[in-house]
A and B are shown apart, each in its own frame.
Chain A
């Protein structure tokens, strides 16, 4: 069975690719820069891990073509896991930003990911287990003056996964959505965070361990679930005065 990792070049995607590679299933690694993926493919091969294929796709591309992804998948077994780890945020993601920047953030974090899922659905096995795994962010818990497009896209993705889970409930395909706290990647590099950052490799271990469980939505680390609930419960007259 084949594992597809979208956004495999760095951060969480890279950690997921490395973790699933250790299990030995064939991998399709997708990212915008082929050089990073080729390095992963070589490394997995030399370390006796999985056979991996690199596919360069730019998720910000309005005319996103999935022909290269199809070509890679045609020669491989059916998909057992589709991991949507791509993500992009910007310090300039505030109301009134450039419309192209807004569109890019929305496309990378939501639209292109949904498009890939829709495209790959026929390749998921009708019988047997498979998982579509998406990743959200605690930044999307409640709209703030920062991460405007990013939070909206992540919340939309959350909703999409809810629908996906409902529509796939009768079959063997499960849809999992992880709401992630602070990850120790370049997105949070050097930033002071209220709570500790978690290493992408730890998240990858959790995702791998849970890959066959049908739980819908999960928070990683776990303590973000009550925290997010608390943030949502803060009355507006208090929330409007908060800056975070």
Chain B
């Protein structure tokens, strides 16, 4: 029996805690729910809601929660798996693991959905070697009002494919995805750690390009000569049984991340936490750990995000070209010392992206900076944006809920192309979010 769409008011908050608003909420749990006529109401699909930016909600926008579309649909017996967009990475890696397969791109939280991974075109632990999520997508089914369900592949509809991967749900609702899985090379990952500075990490990560995992962490509280002191992590698959292979964790959503009223990250707590990480990181030889622990290091340490409290955190992530990276780091240090924001930690990876949407594109060093919200942080951020523009670096749209539209327009290489394509694909602009409005899309 046909029924009108069930819409209720719900409150949504971005994972970083910066954007919070009430809007219409739909929980489709049947295919026909996706076909229900919402008239001209703007709408956007939502997966786990783990984007730092408000990509899956907006003022007056119908949020279509895709959690019920979480089933495995088809497997070719080798490597291709078709799965509904609401399926979580946790479901996927558990299923794939039983068949000695792996999804090479695993962003940082197990309850992120496949649809969310496409929308933000996420990356994993070594994007230089593995690319981004879109590189492992063979096809997907997209639902568009007035058009219906259509199968999109790289060959059949290249423009729609490219615009959807990293398109933040603005082309339509991704319903299912055909993924290419890889053979799992071992039972555990052997992680080597070595002390390293921020400047040296860039070169070391370039040399570690062939590693199965390569990234660095840096203490955000150090100043002067110790600025950026940190640890380089390099990993390789191993046949050894993992010493740590726990897959249990405490559920954390964007709403309950900010349950604690106060921000408990201050100079003393950040310095202490960083000192502890440095102590543990510099102690002992390589350790073998399971895939879950490797892919989702913060899942069992959700306190890191919870400590930012209700006010939340600011994460800015930029892709810096090899030509500009030395200048960028030098200028970053100067800005940090001048504005003294509450910088908790930094991390770097080598990156390669090939998409033509809002996602990062090109090759270079990916630098992430985590800050607690404060007046000094607010003063620091415009200068950070100016440095991004000045060095022709690219901001990561999904990580930064306050990224100003003009900065995005100047720095994202495919911004104009994406805007033009979206206008063609969705001329009525039925798919919108706070993110799309802020970026002037």
Contacts and interface: CB of A to CB of B under 8 A. Distances in A.
B31 A33 contact: yes
Contacts of A39: 69, 71, 73, 84
Nearest to A42: B73
Contacts of B6: 186, 189-190
B1 A10 contact: no
B31 A36 contact: yes
Contact of A190 (B8, B29, B68, B72): B8
What is the interface of chain B mostly: helix, strand, loop, or mixed?
Answer: mixed
Interface string B21-61: 00001010111110000000000000000000000000000
B269 interface: no
A42 B9 CA distance: 33
A243 interface: no
Contacts of B68: 10
Contacts of B95: 46-47
B32 A33 contact: yes
Nearest to A101: B1
A2 interface: no
A186 B6 CA distance: 7
Interface in A87-105: 88, 90, 104
Contacts of A36: 30-31
A178 B14 CA distance: 40
A9 B1 contact: no
B3 A90 contact: yes
Contacts of B69: 39
Contacts of B71: 39-40, 42-43
B30 A42 contact: no
Given A39-B84, A43-B73, A90-B3, A10 B29 contact: yes
A191 interface: yes
A25 interface: no
A35 interface: yes
B173 to A, nearest CB: 15
Given A42-B71, A42-B72, A47-B95, A58 B30 contact: no
Nearest to A88: B1
Given A39-B73, A189-B8, A191-B8, A32 B1 contact: yes
A32 B30 CA distance: 10
A60 interface: yes
Contacts of B31: 33, 35-36
A9 B30 contact: yes
A108 interface: yes
Nearest to B98: A48
A46 B68 CA distance: 17
Interface string A21-47: 000000000001101100110110011
A11 interface: yes
Interface in B62-81: 68-69, 71-75
A90 B1 CA distance: 11
A104 B1 contact: yes
B10 interface: yes
Contacts of B1: 32, 58-60, 88, 104, 108
Nearest to B3: A90
A10 B4 CA distance: 16
Nearest to A10: B29
Contacts of A10: 29-30, 68
Interface of B: 1, 3, 6-10, 25, 27, 29-33, 68-69, 71-75, 84, 95
Interface of A: 9-11, 14, 32-33, 35-36, 39-40, 42-43, 46-47, 58-60, 88, 90, 104, 108, 185-186, 189-191
